[in-house]
Structures are given as C-alpha cells and as structure tokens.
C-alpha cells in the first residue's frame, strides 16, 4: 500500500435507497463524484461496487458515519458500519469510518445552488455527499 499522503481513496455515502461514491487522491486533497448506486433497503448492487473497486483500485475506502449531533450513534450508524465491514470482507481493502454529520444537508444546498431541482436523487446529492465525506477525511 502506498504511504499515507499518496493513497487513492474511495468514499461511500451509505443510504437505504442510494449510495453515493466518490474517489480522490490524498496528495491532492480533493475528490470527484463517480457513481450513485441503487440500494434496496440498504442492500447495495454489489456487482456495481465490485466494478468500481476494480476500476479505481482504491488503497483505502472511507464510509460516512451519520452520527447524531450529540455524538451518539443511531440505527443508520450500525448499517453504515455493517456496509463498511462487508466491503472490507469482500474486497480486502482497508476501511475507515468518517463522521459525516450534515454532509447530505450541505450536498443538497450545493446541488440547489447549482440549479438542481428538488428531485435530489437524480441530481447528485448522494455522490456529492460522498465527495464531502472524502474531503472531511482529507481534513479540508
């Protein structure tokens, strides 16, 4: 694995209906959205995830952890952790959890300010949230 600072990182914004995906280079400290993967009650399309991991070959995966504002965990935290554990188990890539409080809210604001409609699912909120998770990991 490349040394810290030179890793390719893939971020996931886990959701029960959609999972946003972004990738970035740690040295550059920025990311780009790459996909929104459909999920059925939190069960992702593993075939699409496998293709993305094969295509981008991340050195590390980060998964957003939707903590409550008082730092407590909720049911979605447990589901996001389970998702991260499955990625690690299936693809043998290191996985870290990243506090993602307010990233979806911020992503919706970004999309709306760029002229997106209220139908967020088709206009990049989930993959934009994954970029914000990645930037949080990079310390931006």
Look at residue 116 in the predicted model and tell me its pLDDT. 46
Q: How far apart are CA 73 and CA 86, in angstroms?
A: 19
Backbone angles phi, psi at 28, to 5 degrees: -80, -25
**Which tokens go with 30?**
């920025």
pTM for the whole structure: 0.82
Whether residue 90 is contained in a domain is answered as yes
Q: For 71, which DSSP code?
A: S
| Domains identified in the chain, total number | 1
**pLDDT tens per residue across all 140 residues of the chain:** 677 778 999 999 999 999 999 999 988 888 899 999 999 988 999 999 999 999 999 999 999 999 888 888 899 999 999 999 999 999 999 999 999 876 554 544 444 444 444 433 444 677 888 999 999 999 86
Q: How far apart are CA 89 and CA 73, in angstroms?
A: 23
Residue 57 sits in which domain range? 8-138
Look at residue 41 in the predicted model and tell me its pLDDT. 87
Look at residue 5 in the predicted model and tell me its pLDDT. 75
The CATH code of the domain that includes 75 is 3.30.420.140
Look at residue 124 in the predicted model and tell me its pLDDT. 66
Q: How far apart are CA 138 and CA 118, in angstroms?
A: 29
């Amino acid at each position: 694995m490349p040394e810290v600072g030179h890793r390719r990182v893939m971020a996931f914004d886990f959701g029960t209906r959609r999972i946003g995906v972004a990738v970035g280079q740690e040295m550059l400290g920025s990311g780009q959205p790459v996909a929104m993967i459909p999920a059925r009650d939190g069960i992702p399309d593993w075939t699409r995830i496998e293709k993305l991991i094969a295509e981008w070959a991340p050195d590390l995966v980060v998964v957003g952890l939707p903590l409550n504002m008082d730092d407590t965990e909720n049911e979605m935290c447990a589901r996001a952790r389970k998702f991260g554990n499955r990625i690690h188990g299936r693809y043998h890539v290191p996985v870290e959890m990243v506090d993602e409080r307010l990233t979806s809210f911020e992503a919706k604001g970004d999309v709306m300010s760029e002229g997106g409609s209220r139908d967020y699912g088709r206009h990049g909120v989930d993959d934009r949230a994954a970029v914000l998770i990645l930037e949080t990991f990079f310390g931006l």
